[in-house]
A and B are shown apart, each in its own frame.
Chain A
């Protein structure tokens, strides 16, 4: 069991070791000349302006949720891909056609959601876009 994940473990160890190594060596060897400018927040070279804890716009929420939904969809595609490649070689118990149809239905249902969100303007990014639920201005 552990043997099959040995490469993964090694990568983790190397990554962790490299990080620690760089930090330790640079703190040992590097010159230390702190200044007020260096201690400032880094904003792509511009002098920092405003307060860092700005409130985020709620439109990011929509993007985050849609990302989450389609991320989960993507996760389900991984096992499908393996089963499909097996079935085309006749290795699995399922026929390739069936496996394809199953995924088409799965993605198809989500495509409806994507088409809806797209046409609704949920993916638009300008200030002028976005249509809400209200068909008229009555009621609020």
Chain B
């Protein structure tokens, strides 16, 4: 563990940016879960998603960062907010009595265990920045991962058909 703190990265500007982004991401995620109003929760999620995009940038994955903002903070949030409005959830829709359940204890335990494992297995080494520029990702997508690239369009086709099949108004 001490090796981990020795490599905390607080000696560089990137390190400070990382901790800033990570802190905002965690706070945003917590507020998403703890907000009483679903709409506020959704807005906090945007904060969290955008700060994760900052972390991607710091890792050198600028394409993923842009995608995170475009697709997650943009398009997917539209769906989230739409569903909240479709279900007409009021400000207190998320209120549940606070109680300690087996699921919560198990979930927290699992989260703690994962965190511990991840921290200990990366400690001592520095995370390596990858070449995640749009160009590098594009070369991989159209070269080595061509099959996955084309297969994704089949997946999207299924999504289009599914949306029409399940979402279209019936004419009767």
Contact between chain A and chain B defined by CB under 8 Å:
yes
Using CB atoms and an 8 Å cutoff, list the residues of chain A in contact with chain B: 1-2, 5, 53-56, 58-62, 64-69, 71-73, 75-76, 78-80, 82-83, 86, 92-94, 98-99, 102, 105-107, 109-110, 112-114, 116-117, 120-122, 130-134, 137, 140
Q: How far apart sit A65 and B85, CA to CA, in the bound complex (Å)?
A: 15
Chain A nearest CB from B149 CB (Å) reads 7
Q: How far apart sit A8 and B172, CA to CA, in the bound complex (Å)?
A: 53
Contact A76 B141, beta carbon cutoff 8 Å = yes
Query: Is B98 an interface residue, CB under 8 A from the partner?
Result: no
Contact B138 A82, beta carbon cutoff 8 Å = yes
Contact A83 B135, beta carbon cutoff 8 Å = yes
Contact A116 B139, beta carbon cutoff 8 Å = no
Known: A61-B83, A130-B169. 6 other contacts (CB 8 A): A2-B14, A5-B57, A69-B156, A93-B139, A102-B142, A106-B150
B129-166, CB under 8 A of A: which get 1 and which 0? 10000110111011100100110111011011101110
Main secondary structure of the interface of A (DSSP, over half): helix
In the complex with contacts A69-B159, A112-B157, A102-B149 CB distance below 8 A: yes
Query: Is B79 an interface residue, CB under 8 A from the partner?
Result: yes
Query: Is B107 an interface residue, CB under 8 A from the partner?
Result: no
Contacts of A61 in B (CB 8 A): 82-83, 86, 163, 167
> How large, as a class, is the contact surface on chain B?
35 or more
Contact B134 A78, beta carbon cutoff 8 Å = yes
In the complex with contacts A66-B163, A71-B70, A79-B141, A120-B153 CB distance below 8 A: no
Contact A56 B85, beta carbon cutoff 8 Å = yes
Query: Is B17 an interface residue, CB under 8 A from the partner?
Result: yes
How many A-B residue pairs have C-beta atoms within 8 angstroms? Tell me. 159
Using CB atoms and an 8 Å cutoff, list the residues of chain B in contact with chain A: 13-14, 17, 57-58, 60, 62-63, 66-67, 70-71, 74-76, 78-79, 82-83, 85-86, 88, 90, 129, 134-135, 137-139, 141-143, 146, 149-150, 152-154, 156-157, 159-161, 163-165, 167-172
Contacts of A68 in B (CB 8 A): 71, 75-76, 78-79
Q: How far apart sit A59 and B164, CA to CA, in the bound complex (Å)?
A: 10
Contacts of B79 in A (CB 8 A): 64-65, 68
Contacts of B62 in A (CB 8 A): 5
Contacts of A5 in B (CB 8 A): 57, 62
Contact B163 A69, beta carbon cutoff 8 Å = yes
Q: How far apart sit A82 and B153, CA to CA, in the bound complex (Å)?
A: 20
Contact A92 B85, beta carbon cutoff 8 Å = no
Contacts of B76 in A (CB 8 A): 68
Contact A67 B75, beta carbon cutoff 8 Å = yes
Q: How far apart sit A1 and B74, CA to CA, in the bound complex (Å)?
A: 26
Contacts of A1 in B (CB 8 A): 14, 58, 60, 129
Picked from B82, B150, B165, B167, the residue with its CB within 8 Å of the CB of A56 is B82
